[in-house]
Amino acid sequence: MRVLEKTHPAHLAPSTALTKAAQDRLRNSPYPPVRSVCCEDRDGVLFLRGRLPSFFYKQVAQETVAGIEGLLEIVNVIEVT
C-alpha cells in the first residue's frame, strides 16, 4: 500500500465518479475535521488520506463514504495526530 501511495500520488489521480461522490460526502460532513480528508480511488478501492485529531473522526470519515455505489473496498490511511 505504501508503494501504491508513492507510485500514484493523489494530486495525479484522475477524477472519477467514485472519487467525486466520496469527496462530496466528506465535504458535506457535519464534523468539520472530516471535511479536510482527501481521497482517491483505484478500480473501486477508495483510499482515504489526511490527518485527524482522533480515531473517532477517522472512523466517521470511513463511515461517511461507505455505501457509495461502485465502492469495493476502503483503505483508510488517515493519520491520527
User: Can you give the CATH number for the domain in which 46 is found?
Assistant: 3.30.1340
Would you say residue 37 has pLDDT above 80? Answer: yes
Total count of domains within the chain: 1
Percent of the chain with pLDDT over 70: 81
Give me the mean pLDDT over the 54-75 stretch.
96
Q: Provide the whole-model pTM.
A: 0.79
Predicted pLDDT at 50: 97
Domain that holds residue 8: 2-80
Predicted pLDDT at 15: 61
Q: Where are the beta strands (DSSP E) in the chain?
A: 38-42, 45-49, 51-52, 73-76, 79-80
> Strand 79-80 to strand 51-52: parallel, antiparallel, or no bridges (unpaired)?
parallel
